[in-house]
Amino acid sequence: MAAAAPPHGIWVPVPTFFARKAAADYSPVSPPLDPDTQLSHAVFLANAGVRGLVLLGSTGEAVHVTRAERVALVKHLREGLAAAGFPAFPLMAGTAANSVDETAALLAASKEAGADYGLVLAPSYFAGVTSQEGVVAWFAAVAARSPMPILIYHYPGVSNNLKITPATVRTLAAHPNIVGAKFSHGDISAHCQVALDPAIDHERFALFTGLGQHLFPAVQVGVAGAIDGLAAFYPASMVRLFELASADEMGSKQREEARRIQWAASRAEELVVGCGVVGIKEAVARVCGFGDADGTRLPLLGGLGDQEWKRWEPVMAEMERVEKAVRSGGPLYSSLDGP
């Protein structure tokens, strides 16, 4: 029996929080996990209406976390979310290994700890000589060994520019244990070719964009939602944008609201695209108060710093106005020209 697709909507690729510098067990080389902050941020996002969390993806520094830490993090969030009133909140655990057996083992450990789906980064060490047939065979082998449904994670920026074509996705979408994909690139044509492909059963295969920058237009062509870094610190705005974009009918006021949110989000998302996990952690700390702005593991070193953040303040102030308006249920702005 084929597995079901993840719920459509906004998913958040959460950062992995590490202990603050003031903690007694802090180590500058490998700071330990900070499970309390991890759970507090997760509950904050769940209360904002996001559909699920992606743990241990690129934003979650999967390549910097041990298998034991992975299990502890997933287990802690599963139990903590249940205690906070979210017993069945969807969790997706990422992998970033190149071998089939190691990837399958990571998926099994995450499943046992409480994850519902696996987000599997394409193997990329030998990207220059990896054929599309090799990509298909690799993902099929992982899916066959995985105890939970998996999604294809196509992120050329961290995958040695490995290409995964829409035709390859079509082939993999037929596998009963492959239930979707995340495209973390700006090629909207590729999104269209997969989301609109009549050969794909879109009831059980969901394509998510990794960029809230183009959420509104992407949803118009059948994309199921976003796994979006901006939602880690402005979740209500992205949830509202998805609601507007996916509505069966949209009046002029709703269209204007969607445009207003998308304009602000597209500008703010430049921080996510340009600075990656470093920028996301900086924003989560400064905007929401969770974790340290420079709380990464080596070789990542330090945050953006005050001077660089100051450059982003006007953009974030605009996004903050949108977030507050969405949370209050009040009107945004009557035009795209400003408040």
For residue 324, the surrounding DSSP H or E stretch is helix 305-328
Nearest by Cα to 297 from 93, 34, 95: 34
Separation CA 80–CA 100 (nearest Å):
31
Catalytic residues: 182
**CB of 75 within 8 A of CB of 113?**
yes
**CB of 84 within 8 A of CB of 61?**
no
**CB of 294 within 8 A of CB of 15?**
no
Q: How far is CA 271 from CA 194, 213, 227, 283, in A?
A: 27, 11, 16, 9
**CB burial string 167-198: b at 16+ within 10 A, e below:** ebbbbbbebebbbbbbbbeeebebbbbbbebe
